[in-house]
Structure 1
Amino acid sequence: MSRHSLHPSPAARLPEPLLVRLSSTDKPWSHESYCAGFEVEQWRCAAFADHMIEWIADYALREDELDINHGNMYVRLKEAAVRVYSTDKYAKRGEFGEIVLHAICRSFFDTIPLAPRVFYKTSSNDVVKSFDMVHVRYLQKDQFEIWLGESKFYKSGLEAVASAIQSVKQHIDAGFLRHEKLLLGPQVSKHLPHADAIRKLLASQTSLDALFSNAVFPVCIACDSGAIGTHKAHTEEYLSAVLKELVSYRDRLSESGLPNQIRMLLVYIPLGSKDSLAAAFDKRLKGLVIQG
C-alpha cells in the first residue's frame, strides 16, 4: 500500500523522508532507531532542522487548510510556523520532538492525523496534558489502529525515558482517557476512511477496553547520543553503538511494566547535539514568524 494512498486531501503529498531507519525489531516488543545521517564526517544538524520545517504545515494545519499551491504556500507555511512558535511548550523546545514523531509515523507507518496537534492542544485549553500525537493507521480491509504518541526531546536519554514513563502512566489513567475521548471524537474528519467507526470507538458510551485493544502508544526519545559523538558515518560500528543505546532505553521502559499493559512502540532518534538542533530549528522558525 502506498504511503500516499489513504489520505483524502493534498496533505498526502508528504515531504520525502530524510531520516533513515537504522534498526527495527518487535522482540520482545517493538523498538526502532532512526538517524539524520552524516555529511562530510559531520552529523547533519542543519539538514535535520530544514527537514522539520518542511513538516510543520502537515503537523500544524487543519485538513481544510492544506490545499496548498504555488500561490499560497508561503502564507500557509507562515501560518503553521506561528502556531508552532506561539505554543507554551515551544519555549521549552518540546515541540520539535512532537514534529519528529509526527513525521516518522507519517513517513514510515502510513498514519494520518485525526486532528492537528496544535489545534487539538488549543482545543483542550491545556487543562490536562494531552497526547503529543493522535493519528490513525489503516490496516487491511476495515481495520485500523489509533496511535496515541508521546515524545521527549532531551539532552539526557535516561531523563527522557523517565519523563516518558511518567507521562504514559498518567495518560493511560481511565479518567484521562475518558477526557481525551470527549475531545477527540468531535474532531474526527468526516472525510477520513471509516470515520464513523473511529468516532464510535471514541464515543463516551464505548468501553475504554475497546480503545486499549485498538491503540498503539508510540514513544519517541530524541536525545544526545554518545554513538554520534564517536563516529562520522553509518558504519557497522556506529549501527552497533546506536543499537546498544536503543536497547538500554527499551530495557528501562520494560522495567516500568508499561509494555505488559499496552502496545508500545519505542522510536529512538540519536542526536549529535540537542541544543544545536533546537537552535537551528528556532532560527528557521523565527525567520518565518518575524514581522516587518
Structure 2
Amino acid sequence: MGKKTEYYPYNDIKTHCFHIVFDLDGNENICQSEEDWCEEIFDEIPNFALGDEKAREISKASPRKATKQGMKLLYEVKEIREANDGYLALDSSVEDKYLKRGEFGELILYYLLKKKLNKPQLISKIYFKDSYNAVVHGFDAVHYDKESNELWIGESKFYKDKNAALRELADDLDKHFNSKFFKQEFTIISNRFEDLGIQNDEIKNLIAPDSKVLSKLVKINACFFALFDDEILKSFSYEKGTDKPSQDFLDRLKDSVEKARTNFDDKTKGFLHKENLKIHLFLFPVESKYKLVKKMHEKLKKEQS
C-alpha cells in the first residue's frame, strides 16, 4: 500500500512523517523516485475525485472512463486550473499566488490517509464542489476509521518554509475547529451522506449538524499536513548491505520531527478545545516543493490532452 512513500509514525507525539522513497536511478545513483511517486498519486485520482463507490460503478464499464472523469473533475477546480496555466507558462509569480494554498494538498492527504493510515474517505470534496456547488473552502479531507467510528479530518499547506506552513496550519485550527465552522461543514456532509452508500448509523449520527459539538470534537482526529522544502533529505543514506534507512538519518529525522511538533504545539497552545481534540501533525519534506508540484501539473496537463 503506497509503496513509493516512506512512512515514519511517531505515535507518542501524534506526528507522522513521510517522504518519497529513495532508490537507484538509471545511473546507479541513490535518489528519490519522483516520477514513480507521481504515478502512484495519480492512480488514486478516480477514487479521490469521484468517491470509491462512484469510481467502481464507472470502472465496471470502463476503467479508463473513471480515470478520465476523475482527472476532469480535478482539472475543473478553479485553483488547480489557474495554477496549471501559470506553471506551464513558466510564470514566476505562480508559486506565491497558488502554491501556498497547496492545490494538490487534498489529493496527497487523501493518499496518505487511505494508503498509509488505512482511513477510507468519507466524502469526496472535489466531487461535491463540482456537482453540488458546495463551499470551496471547507476541510481538505474527511475520512473515517471503520473500527472506532472516529473521523479523520485534514487541512493541508505547501510552503518552501516549514515554519510558515506550521504557522498557517495553526491558524486553520482556530478557524475550522469551532462551532460555527462545524455547523457549516457538517450540514454539507450530512446532506450528502445518503449518497455515499455507507451503512453506519454511528457515523451518520456523529456528522449530523445538530449533534453536540463536543461529541464531534472527541471523535475527531484533526490532521494538519505540511509539505515543505527540507535539507534533511540530503543526509539520507542506507545502512550498508541493506535496503533500510541508516540510523544516522533516522536519528536526524526524529530530532527534526520532534522540533516541528514542539513548534506547532507552541503555535496552538491558545486553542480552547485542545484537551478534547486529537491533533495530528503530518510532515512531508521534499527536495523542492516547486519542482515537484510543477511536475504534477505537467502530468495533469498531459493527461488532459
TM-score tier by shorter-chain length is 0.7 to 0.9
Change beyond 3 A, Cα 1:119–1:70: closer
- Determine the C-alpha separation between the residues in 2 that align with 1:242 and 1:89: 33
Secondary structure of the 1:265 match is strand
Report the counterpart of residue 126 of structure 2 in structure 1. Answer: 118
Structure 1 stretches lacking a partner, 5+ long: 1-14
Amino acid at match of 1:176: F
Deviation string 1:167-214 (CA, Å, 9 cap, x unpaired) is 1210012111111111000222463241x3222222232111110111
Deviation, 1:16, is 4.4
Change in 2 beyond 3 A, CA 1:243/1:154:
same
Equivalent residue pairs, number: 270
Partner SS state of residue 44, structure 2: helix
Unmatched 5+ residue regions in structure 2? 25-29, 84-97, 239-244
Please state whether the residue corresponding to 2:152 is helix, strand or coil.
strand
- The one of 198, 216, 220 equivalent to 1:215 is 220
Matches within 5 A, 1:174-185: 174-185=179-190
Larger radius of gyration: 2
TM-score, normalising length: structure 1: 0.84
CA distance in 2 between counterparts of 1:191 and 1:248 reads: 42
Matches within 5 A, 1:45-64: 45-62=34-51, 63-64=53-54
- Return the TM-score normalized by structure 2: 0.81
Segment drifting more, 244-253 vs 217-226: 244-253
Q: Take 1:131 and 1:107, find their aligned partners in 2: how far apart are those partners?
A: 19
The residue number in structure 2 matching 1:236 is 247
Letter in 2 for 1:35: H
Could you tell me how far apart the structure 1 residues matched to 2:60 and 2:210 are?
45
Q: For the Cα contact (< 8 Å) 1:201–1:211, is it kept in 2? A: yes
- In structure 2, what residue type is equivalent to 1:31? T
Whole-Å separation in 2 of the counterparts to 1:289 and 1:160: 30
- Indicate the residue corresponding to 2:22 in structure 1: 38
**Superposed CA RMSD:** 2.2
Encode CA deviations 1:224-260: one digit per residue, 9 max, x unaligned: 1111134355322222222222222211221112554
Aligned residue in 2 for 1:73: 63
State the alpha-carbon separation in 2 of the partners of residues 70 and 33 from structure 1: 36
CA distance in 2, matches of 1:190, 1:173: 25
Distance 2:250 2:276 in 1: 30
Higher mean Cα deviation, 122-131 or 104-113?
A: 122-131
